[in-house]
Every structure is written in C-alpha cells, then in structure tokens.
Amino acid sequence: QVQLVESGGGLAQAGDSLRLSCAGSGRTFNSYAMGWFRQAPGSERQFVSAISTTGGSALYADFVKGRFTISRDNAKNTVFLQMNSLKPEDTAVYYCAARPLRTTTNAGGYDYWGQGTQVTVSS
C-alpha cells in the first residue's frame, strides 16, 4: 500500500511557475507508476501527466505539453510536477496517484490517491 501527500500548490499569476511535489510512503515506491490529475470545480478529474517506474518515460496531456514536466526521485519516494507558463485555466485541485507498474491516462486505473493540493492562477 502507498500513501501519497501532495504539496507545493498555492496562488500564482499567469505566466508564473509552481512545482508540485508528491511524497509517497513505503519501500516499493519505485514499483509504482505515478500520475498527476486535476479537477476544477464542476468538472471531471482530468489527466495531466504520468511517469514510469524508472522515470524513463512520461505522458502528457496536450494542454500541458511544453509547459509542465513530470519527474521522480525514487531515492526520496517523491514525484514532481514542474508547472511553467501557468494559465488561469490551470486552476484546479491537483492530485497525484499511484498504480503498479505501467502508466495510464485513465484515472480509474490508479489505486492510490493523495488528498490534493489547490493551484489557483490569476490573470
């Protein structure tokens, strides 16, 4: 089992950068693919990015390509989401999630979720 805790959210202005972190518990963190999702009020949870167990491959939603970068440090049981060139439409609660082995863009494919961190971007 994996427990996940996100941090790094907050208030930003359009064009700013934020770095989200997700700390995982357990000795098998490196056997989990990790994903980031977001959910705005009144909207469904939306895939943002995912990274393989080793960090060797990543997936991105089209609306964040070139702006967001996912990475992980398995020695520290942490996955990151570097968000650059933020836009007001990036405002949402951001969640990290874990699933064994392979990445997927499907939220239903993830077994473990953090509590979320709020990101608010003003224009």
85 neighbors 67 (Cβ within 8 angstroms)? yes
19 neighbors 8 (Cβ within 8 angstroms)? yes
| Nearest in space to 49 (alpha carbons), one of 72, 18, 26 | 72
Contacts of 56 (CB under 8 A, 6+ apart): none
Per-residue pLDDT, 26: 79
Query: What are the pLDDT digits (tens) for 84-106?
Result: 999 999 999 999 999 998 999 99
The angle subtended at Cα 108 by Cα 63 and Cα 53, nearest 5°, is 75
Region 55-77: mean pLDDT is: 97
Question: What number of other Cβ atoms are within 10 A of residue 36's Cβ?
Answer: 27
Per-residue pLDDT, 117: 98
